[in-house]
Structure 1
């Protein structure tokens, strides 16, 4: 069975433009994949704890030496990784906040970046262990940033996903959303057209 994992990271939850585009993509995708399973995470409604010393220590402690508290941290991370491993497609609703990604999405990434689990270091450098997946990123911005030095998101997201083995990535941008209703409407319409093409 094909599985899709959807991650919405807008602080406005389902009211965010990035969430709405991601939701529309998933709905359209499901019409073409009616037997597929969809796993959804709203990182605003159910935020994950940010990385701290205790969690990092748990990640690097051998299983037989972990305390009950450390094991609870590992179990939380393992559950997220298991969801991701199940998925053949990953959809991320990605708003831009102050030139970066939402902190809730960074917290998610920090939970799934586990040496020996989602990546490993070899004599030739790091190797991602989650290959064979397709990622769709729905990036919404108030201004115009794609292709400029101010777009830190695209490079970061691509580098992180590549690091864990996901190299087939599609970015769909809806920009200029705070630059007047005409610009906003056209940008969202263009993104909706593109998402319909990708979902098919």
Structure 2
């Protein structure tokens, strides 16, 4: 049975969020192809995982047989999250840009699931798993724009998910999402609307394609 792991991270509800409607469209398209499939959903904004502490970090580099009770408890949480990721045939992550990078809740999740010798490094247990990232942002960071080079969402997630963990990373990028709110960006509203429509269309297409991959 196919499994989709879906993570939302926006602090805003779907009615005003730029990323949540896009992940919802992807998920709906995937579910239509897999009515009997399993969706594991985490809203990391509503129910964040705790930040990685000393005990959990130490435990990741120590023989489990030597773990203290505190380390064992902390590491069990990391293993639970890693196993959830390993069971997924497809992963869907919302990563809206907050202050030029990913939400801290997503970073906390990553700090737990990136485990050297398991999900990270040579022989990664999640190597090859497709991960679709909805990287919404209020402005534009494309080549030729004033903020080119300061996109620390795609660069970072490409390095961690793709480079460190060996996953197949794909991005859907709704941009200029703040154009409707700032008078100085009023001229960009048509481009913002076009970007949103394109993102929703891509989400449906890629959701269906991901479902076909999981069924293969």
**TM-score of the superposed pair, with normalisation by structure 2:** 0.84
Who is 2:174 aligned against? 174
**CA RMSD of the aligned region, Å?**
1.6
1:12-51 → structure 2 map (5 Å cutoff) = 12-15=12-15, 16-51=17-52
What residue ranges of structure 1 are gaps of 5+ in the alignment? 121-125
Equivalents in 2 of 1:186, 1:129: separation in Å?
Answer: 38
Q: Is the 8 A contact 1:13 1:42 kept in 2?
A: no
1:7-86 → structure 2 map (5 Å cutoff) = 7-15=7-15, 16-86=17-87
SS of the aligned residue for 1:60 comes to coil
Who is 1:123 aligned against? none
Who is 1:193 aligned against? 201
1:114-125 → structure 2 map (5 Å cutoff) = 114-120=115-121
Equivalents in 2 of 1:85, 1:195: separation in Å?
Answer: 23
Give the C-alpha shift of residue 43 in structure 1: 0.5
Equivalents in 2 of 1:31, 1:58: separation in Å?
Answer: 41
Equivalents in 2 of 1:13, 1:79: separation in Å?
Answer: 27
2:135 is aligned with 1:132 = no
Equivalents in 1 of 2:97, 2:196: separation in Å?
Answer: 15
**TM-score of the superposed pair, with normalisation by structure 1:** 0.90
Cα deviations across residues 101-155 of structure 1 (Å, max 9, x unaligned)? 01110110100111122124xxxxx553312311111111110013420111111
Q: Is the 8 A contact 1:99 1:153 kept in 2?
A: yes
Equivalents in 1 of 2:29, 2:66: separation in Å?
Answer: 47
Who is 2:183 aligned against? none
User: Whose strand fraction is larger, Structure 1's or Structure 2's?
Assistant: 1
Cα deviations across residues 70-114 of structure 1 (Å, max 9, x unaligned)? 111111111101110000100001100010001110110100111
Cα deviations across residues 24-78 of structure 1 (Å, max 9, x unaligned)? 2101111012221110111111111112323211222321221221111111111
| Residues paired across the two proteins, number | 194
